[in-house]
Amino acid sequence: MIARDPASLEVMMQADPCIWAIHNRIKLMGGTVFTLDGCEYMGDIMRDSARHIAVMKGAQARITTAFMLRATHALRYGRYPQGSIYYFPNKVAVENFSKTRMGPFIADNPCIKKFMKNTNSVNIKRVGDAFLRLFGASSTTDIQGKKDSTSVRSEPADEDKRS
């Protein structure tokens, strides 16, 4: 259920990345529009407030999409004022992701584009007052006995201090 008055809707969009994405009709790869239909699990991932999330998945599970939306929403609404970092296995993977996924994602969505400030960089995007950084690590990770050099890691850059 989406609120009818603009103030309530804005509060709901700020609190929930799924409502934000659905209301703004976020366009994804292939011209599809974001929906949770058939992928309800994505709502749990996108709404999770954990700073670190590990996902074991198969291909085409839309997990990259969920994390792109989650990070963009968090940066847009100032959840991570110091920014967010995506770790890739190498520089080529960063360039490929930035050009084939992040670039079109920004260009196809005016509600995202208006908060993105041009940094003219493949690996750094400014969202509002924070930065989304894409880093290549040039390493492999051992996952269940198999070398994985194509996995992506995402992490908020803010430090959570507790007394």
Q: Across all residues in the chain, what is the average pLDDT?
A: 84
What pLDDT was estimated at residue 25? Answer: 96
Do residues 75 and 132 touch, judged by C-beta distance below 8 A?
yes
What's the first-to-final CA gap in the chain, in angstroms? 38
d(CA 158, CA 139): 24
pLDDT higher than 70, residue 28: yes
Question: Stretch 6-31: mean pLDDT, rounded?
Answer: 93
Residue 154: its H or E element: strand 153-156
Q: What is the pLDDT of residue 110?
A: 93
What's the CA gap between 61 and 41, in Å, rounded? 10
Distances from the Cα of 124 to the Cα of 103, 115, 131, angstroms? 12, 14, 7
Q: Where are the domains of the chain?
A: 6-156
Quick one: which of 156, 76, 88, 158 has its CA closest to 123?
88
Contact (CB, 8 A) for 26 and 33: yes
User: CA-based Rg of the chain, rounded to a whole angstrom?
Assistant: 16
The Cβ of residue 46 has, within 10 Å, a number of other Cβ atoms equal to 22
Q: pLDDT tens digit string along 122-153?
A: 889 998 889 999 999 865 555 555 555 555 55
